[in-house]
Amino acid sequence: MRYLLNRFIHYVILHLKSALPTAVMAGILAGILEAIYRAVSFDFFKITLFATGTFYYSILGLLLALVYIAPVILFTFLTGRYIRGQFIAYLSFASVFNGMVTPWLSTLIMDYLNLSGQLIGNSRFVFISVLIIIMQAAGIGIYFIIERFLNLIRVNIRIAGFALPVILLILMIISFSFGIGSSYNVEKYEPPADISSRKMPNVIFIILDCLRYDTVSMTNSGMATPNMRKLAEDGIFYTNCFTQCSWTKPSIASMYTSLYTTQHNVKGLGQIINPDLYTLPKLMSDEGYFAVGFSNNVMIRAVANFHLGFNYFEYLHPSRVIPSDPEAPEFHFLIILHDYLKRLIVDKTELVSFYYRNANYTSKRVIDWLDKNSDKNFYMFLHYMDPHNPYFNHPYDGEYYVPPPDNYSEEIEKKFFDTYKKEVEYTDKALGLLFEHLKSTGIYDNTMIVLTSDHGDEFHEHGGWDHGHSLYDELIHAPLIIKLAHSELKGTVDSSLVETIDIPPTIAGYIGAGEVPEWQGIDIFSGNNRDWSFSEVKRYGVHAKSLRSRTEKLYITGLNADPVIEYYDIAQDKSESNNLSGNEDLKPRIAELLKTLAEFEDNLREKAVEAGSHTLDRKTIEQLRQLGYIK
């Protein structure tokens, strides 16, 4: 028995000495090729991409070699027939190279030739089989060239194979130490010469993702949001504020640019803000503020131009089991490995951090920044992701709920909504941490704080779930709090009709900046009141528009030759449950509103710009899918 064991160990060592160094080289080459492909495809030419890919793929090459060589070792042990080390080296290199390149290369070829929808069943099998044979032959040829080259320069192939991962690890650590792409110093900060004599208030603009109007304690006595209530008591609470879209990207783009969605045209996942637009952060930077932004949403990032105008912008990227540049496009096998390791080793109570950074983390990150930048007169954009789905239980136990549920019942609806409301209350506690720090450091009193949401969430009130699919009030009616410096006008409740695009000109007017002609919002403090709020959404095959006043609402879906028109008497029907569009007595009023809407849209189109676009990488797509943006 000992003889057999010793012989087996001998064969294992013999074969691995030949297989592993070449497998490392194959992994590195595969990593380089995929890094080039990702860099070109997503215009991301950073050393972190190449260092990360080549290092991790060198390790994966080792693991794959163990799988490929195991049958050879077993054959040698059972037959006693020795297989030459050179053959093992060629087999290892070609197999690892083939296995790591073919999966993404096959997808690339099929997409490029528009064959993805055509190659199914046997034809797809034949295509993949032929490609595998070609890549195996290519791997053999490439190794032949590498072997000859290393012999020419007198480098031992085994030493090179084991030394390269160490070199790549050092390179990866060095590249990471110079900064990973989640933060950006965008605009050079040049404070005006008279800034010390100007008593400019700081400005903090807070957006809570998915926060409904009826889930804060100012509107719902059953909700425990004492910190938002106290902020409202120190400022002005607006009861009729409406967003311009019912999902994040277009809505926040409107709050950046003070334009309607049909003007900035950032309506899809792959669209980005036109860099020529004048944004709120750019204005604040121009006015002498240090403009800093913290985003929690995968769509509100530099890749979509949401960093433009800031002096410093940081995307609070989700946790990663495998350290990598959060802004870099992900490698094929690293996504698979990350998902596997996440399920295997992550503590369930920490699971939320793999979807987004929660409110507590966000507040602490902001407090840390404030402690290090107490000398700055700042404008801060702050985006909290909670209570966006998945709706996590509190305290965290790893359980969460993703809309829509598999089966509907009133009990399930209540469970989802109750969990969502607990997320809101959790977020309020995290806001309390921030507000308390502002007060203890003396910042709060001389700071204007604006708090609102980008949209709400639906819990089957109109037969739907989540957001982005309609424009009913549960999705576009947003809470709005404006606390002025020194708590001017504290305790005010204002029922004026306002839109979230009014926030930029209101902040600009309050700090004494001039008007921006292209902005469509109204300075809320100017005394100019609006009669209508306009919202639009184009997503999930739905194109809808709404025109809402404080007392009535016109809602149109379809927008084709036969649109569906709904009309609600909001004064008597706040839940929008009684569609009056079929009422003959109201037909003249509906026709009048349709004409008002058409004229309004004609005016908007005259001032529209084209949005830019970018390609979504696989990592971003996976994050969007986790958050429900891709069904």
Tens digit of pLDDT for each residue in 412-421?
999 999 999 9
- What was the pLDDT predicted at 174? 73
CA gap 323, 330 in Å, rounded: 11
Do residues 316 and 294 make contact, with C-beta atoms less than 8 angstroms apart?
yes
Enumerate the β-bridge partners of residue 458: 466
Question: E strand or H helix at 344, and its extent?
Answer: helix 332-345
Residue 204 CB coordination number (10 Å): 24
- Give the residues across from 556 on adjacent strands: 545, 565
- Give one word for 611, left, alpha or beta, with left for phi > 0 and alpha for psi -120 to 50: beta
Q: Which two tokens stand for residue 264?
A: 């900035």
Residue with token string 């109007």: 213
For 17-175, where are the E strands, in sequence order?
none
Distance CA 537, CA 458 (A): 15
DSSP state of 146: H
Question: Which of 310, 303, 254 is CA-nearest to residue 282?
Answer: 310
Q: pLDDT value at position 43? A: 83
Q: How far is CA 223 from CA 114, 217, 298, in A?
A: 53, 5, 28
How far apart are the C-alpha atoms of 203 and 377, rounded to whole Å?
9
Which pLDDT does position 188 carry in this prediction? 65
Which DSSP category does 330 fall into? P
pLDDT-flagged residues of the chain (< 50): 197
Is residue 23 a contact partner of residue 93, using CB atoms and an 8 Å limit?
yes
Q: DSSP E strands: which ranges in 326-431?
A: 378-384, 391-392, 400-401
452: Cβ contacts below 8 Å, ≥ 6 apart: 206, 207, 208, 211, 241, 478, 479, 480, 481, 500, 503
Q: How many residues does the chain have?
A: 631
43 neighbors 110 (Cβ within 8 angstroms): no
Strand order in the sheet with 447-453: 183-184, 312-315, 290-295, 378-384, 202-208, 447-453, 477-483, 236-242, 492-499
> Which amino acid is located at 53 in the chain?
G
Q: Is 318 helix (H, G, I), strand (E, B) or coil?
A: coil
Residue 48 has a pLDDT of 82
pLDDT tens track for 332-356? 888 888 888 888 878 888 899 999 9
Instruction: Say which residues have a Cβ less than 8 Å from residue 116's Cβ, sequence separation at least 6.
Output: 107, 110
Identify the CA nearest to 420 among candidates 250, 620, 208. Answer: 208
DSSP 551: S
d(CA 89, CA 589): 81
Report the relative pairing of strands 542-548 and 533-539 from DSSP bridges: antiparallel
From residue 323, alpha-carbon distances to 55, 329, 335, 454, 621 in Å are 11, 13, 12, 31, 19
201/506 Cα distance (integer angstroms)? 14
What sign does the dihedral 353-357-358-363 (CA atoms) show?
Answer: positive
